[in-house]
């Protein structure tokens, strides 16, 4: 439940749970920690840094300038350029989608919802726009603790996947929504599909600080255990051990399942597995 941004699309980077909130924090200038390690410090609101769009610029030039500004995290200015291009190319689903992405990153979720709804009305087969609209609903669910918004997010991801099933981000995002609803079996299936399409997706989302957005420590530990199991099934031992260690450190209450889950069969033969489990026996309780 990021997001890591694929061209034309947001990736939740649970990823997800997210990747989006962590990117937004960076864009707003909120440091990870202030000088006092027990405090957070809110930075100034986003401001315009670029010159206004030139009246004589073509729609293509305006869009390219918007892309450059977005790449440099100048999301407010990027919206100005995309909107200027949209005036020259009314109804462009691509531009509306890009505006929606920037608005998500600016935490203007209601505005983003409107932009992305316009994008899917302009192009009913625009998978990226459905995916990004799912991100908005997911964010509503996280912010408001509303199961209904997670259901709406899942419906949007369903549409995106039905239109284009080759993108790991769509499965990753839907898995985050399933996870938020505690539908862990469906989430595991989607995470497995995401990992099959992009073996590095969890590494990127982990580095982006995605896990900080999980609803509770228990959910965070469960997520880490699920990822460890998926890597173990793929035979990626180092990553499986890494996530297993994190799940144990975060107090995953069902950690003893590691001794009976089939996915860990090969891993259990690795000396490092025995070393890890013996070193963390105090974290394992009935």
Task: Please give the C-alpha separations between residue 104 and each of 40, 107, 166, 176, 270, in angstroms, as whole numbers.
Answer: 22, 5, 24, 17, 44
User: Alpha-carbon distance 87 to 90, whole Å?
Assistant: 6
User: Alpha-carbon distance 112 to 101, whole Å?
Assistant: 7
pLDDT of residue 217: 77
Q: Per the structure block, which two tokens stand in for 1?
A: 């439940």
Q: Per the structure block, which two tokens stand in for 9?
A: 């699309």
pLDDT of residue 279: 82
pLDDT of residue 283: 45
Domain boundaries, the chain: 5-215, 216-286
Higher pLDDT, 9 or 111: 111
DSSP E strand boundaries for 132-215: none
User: Alpha-carbon distance 256 to 252, whole Å?
Assistant: 9
Whether 194 shows a pLDDT value over 80: the answer reads yes
Query: pLDDT averaged over the chain?
Result: 83
Whether 2 shows a pLDDT value over 70: the answer reads no
Domain 5-215 coded CATH 1.10.10.410: no
Any residues with CB less than 8 A from the CB of 34 and at least 6 apart, and which? Answer: 40, 41
Q: What is the DSSP letter of 199?
A: T
Q: What are phi and psi of 13, to 5 degrees?
A: -65, 85
Average pLDDT over residues 252-260: 94
User: Alpha-carbon distance 165 to 197, whole Å?
Assistant: 10
Contact at 8 Å (CB) between 41 and 30?
Answer: yes
Contact at 8 Å (CB) between 88 and 111?
Answer: no
Average pLDDT over residues 30-52: 62
Whether 151 shows a pLDDT value over 50: the answer reads yes
Q: Residue 274's CB: how many other CB atoms inside 10 A?
A: 11
Q: What percent of the chain has pLDDT over 70?
A: 78
Contact at 8 Å (CB) between 14 and 210?
Answer: yes
Greatest mean pLDDT among 12-21, 78-87, 138-147 lies in 78-87
b or e along 2-30 (b: 16 or more beta carbons within 10 Å of the residue's beta carbon)? Answer: bbbbeebbbbbbbbbbbbbbbbbbebbee
Q: What is the pLDDT of residues 73-89, one digit of tens each?
A: 999 999 999 999 999 99
User: Alpha-carbon distance 115 to 13, whole Å?
Assistant: 21
**Residue 45: pLDDT band by 50, 70, 90 thresholds?**
confident
């Amino acid at each position: 439940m990021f997001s890591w941004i694929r061209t034309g699309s947001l990736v939740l980077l649970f990823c997800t749970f997210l990747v989006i909130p962590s990117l937004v924090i960076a864009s707003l200038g909120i440091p990870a920690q202030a000088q006092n390690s027990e405090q957070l410090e809110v930075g100034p609101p986003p401001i315009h840094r670029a010159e206004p769009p030139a009246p004589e610029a073509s729609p293509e030039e305006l869009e390219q300038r918007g892309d450059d500004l977005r790449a440099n995290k100048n999301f407010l200015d990027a919206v100005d350029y995309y909107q200027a291009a949209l005036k020259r190319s009314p109804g462009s689903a691509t531009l509306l989608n890009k505006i929606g992405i920037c608005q998500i990153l600016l935490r203007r979720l209601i505005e983003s919802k409107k932009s992305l709804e316009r994008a899917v009305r302009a192009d009913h087969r625009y998978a990226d726009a459905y995916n990004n609209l799912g991100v908005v609903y997911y964010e509503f669910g996280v912010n408001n603790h509303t199961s209904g918004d997670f259901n709406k997010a899942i419906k949007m991801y369903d549409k995106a996947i039905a239109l284009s099933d080759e993108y790991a981000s769509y499965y990753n995002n839907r898995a985050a929504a399933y996870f938020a609803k505690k539908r862990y079996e469906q989430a595991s299936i989607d995470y497995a599909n995401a990992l099959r399409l992009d073996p590095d997706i969890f590494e990127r989302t982990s580095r982006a600080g995605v896990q900080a957005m999980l609803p509770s420590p228990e959910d965070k530990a469960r997520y880490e255990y699920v990822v460890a199991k998926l890597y173990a099934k793929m035979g990626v031992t180092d990553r499986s051990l890494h996530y297993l260690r994190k799940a144990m450190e975060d107090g995953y209450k069902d950690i003893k399942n590691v001794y009976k889950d089939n996915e860990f069969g090969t891993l259990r033969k690795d000396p490092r597995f025995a070393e890890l489990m013996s070193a963390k026996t105090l974290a394992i309780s009935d």
